[in-house]
Amino acid sequence: MGLKAGIVGLPNVGKSTLFNAITNSHVEAANYPFATINPNTGVVNVPDERLDFLTNIFKPERKIPATVEFTDIAGLVKGASNGEGLGNKFLANIRECDAIVEVVRCFDNADIVHVEESVDPIRDIEIINLELIMADLDTVDKRIEKSEAKARIAKDKEAIYEMNLLKPLKEVLEQGLPARKAKLTEDQIAYCKVNYHLLTDKPIIYVANVGESDLMDLDNCKYYQDVLAYASKENSQVIPVSAQIESDLSELSEEERKEYLAELNVKESGLEKVIKATYKLLNLSTFFTVGADECRAWTFKNNMSAPECAGVIHTDFQKGFICAEVYPYEAIHELGSEHAVKEAGKIRTEGKGYYPKDGDIMFFRFNVKK
């Protein structure tokens, strides 16, 4: 789908360690600011137990999971919106992302330098969020300067439309709130995304990088609880992760990982939770195609039509779309085989007006005239 999430945070909070573990790559994760200057990008598989189940049923030659792209972005410092540190580069790299994964340090370790010289996750979040807000306010002010005279004097329709959109954005940003808090119509939101690329308009999740011992006792981890309380006010999700544990897990075989997780008494790693949450944050869902040759998870944006989903596979499928044979994953999970699903009458034929749901198993019929 060409969508990506940017991993952001202050220097030395565990961003690059997290990115290394997520992508199983080995970018520099040094104990000093700006170890990451150019953004590192990695495409990772989205863990999906449904695809594993379908693979066991159909025994295909290939299993192909859905993927999501992550970018590790240079650490931000106070004053980035005014060009401090690598501010301009940092902000430009975030602008190119579709969602933000903000890593927050929630552990004490005297051996790891903190750019602010103390551990305070809420202060750290507010430093980053304020810099993003200030950068957005600068963008909005420049657009107002460009459109105000056109709207007031020339009565230009588009300029008037813009001013009605820019004013509530400016009010929200001046209150120190993100642009996504502005009360806008759906049309205005779409216009804003296409024309302004505001940083605080992007959806966000927080990753609380906690100490190894705190991961098993989150109720008593004050730093994590502080982040949880902060995020709940803006309806954002927080995922607790020990970047060090995840780094260790990434070096193990699949069998060893399962044993390690069993010892920790958890079903899935923190990174698997981060990847799944990011996938949802990007407003993505999955449909499946199945058979003896291949079981595959395909990514689509929520509210895409059946022909648009067919186009995810191949543009010819969309151009010549006739119909789709569809059944929900739950049906085959319950009944155990596609034949049983068919016998139970649970396979439906859907036309162009159908909007696929997450977990749909689909077979597209199409005809392209030469």
Amino acid at 188: Q
pLDDT at 36: 39
User: Can you tell me the distance from the alpha carbon of 275 to that of 66, in angstroms, rounded to the nearest whole number?
Assistant: 11
Separation between Cα atoms, residue 145 and residue 85, nearest integer Å: 28
Q: Does the structure show a pLDDT above 80 at 114?
A: no
Could you give the C-alpha distances from 183 to 136, 148, 186, 188, in angstroms and in order? 16, 20, 10, 9
C-beta separation of 288 from 360 below 8 A: yes
Whether the CB-CB separation of 169 and 138 falls below 8 Å is answered with no
Model confidence pLDDT, tens digit, residues 212-227? 888 888 999 999 999 9
* Per-residue model confidence as pLDDT tens digits over 337-348: 999 999 999 999
The CA-based angle 72-78-79, given to 5 degrees, is 105
pLDDT digits (tens, 9 = 90+) for 158-195: 889 989 999 999 999 999 999 999 999 999 999 998 89
Percent over 70 (pLDDT), the chain:
89
Q: List the one residue out of 291, 309, 311, 321 whose CA is nearest residue 360.
A: 309
pLDDT tens profile 274-312? 889 999 999 999 999 999 999 999 999 999 999 999 999
> How is residue 276 written in tokens?
């799944």
- Count of residues in the chain: 370
The helix or strand, by DSSP H or E, that contains position 206, with its residue range, turns out to be strand 204-210
CB-CB contact of 328 with 358 (8 Å): no
The pLDDT of 24-31, averaged and rounded, is 44
Kind of pairing, strands 40-45 and 99-106? unpaired
DSSP β-bridge partners for residue 69: 4, 43
Nearest 5°: phi and psi at 321? -55, 130
- Strand-pairing partners, residue 45, are 67
> How would residue 232 be classed by pLDDT, with cut points 50, 70 and 90?
very high
**Beta carbons within 10 angstroms of residue 229's beta carbon:** 11
* Res. 84: pLDDT tops 60: no
Q: Which residues pair with 177 in a beta bridge?
A: none
Decide the pairing of beta strands 237-241 and 284-289: unpaired
Q: Whole-model pTM?
A: 0.82
Burial 35-70 (b: 16+ CB within 10 A, else e): bbeebbbbebebbbebbeebbeebebeeeebbebbb
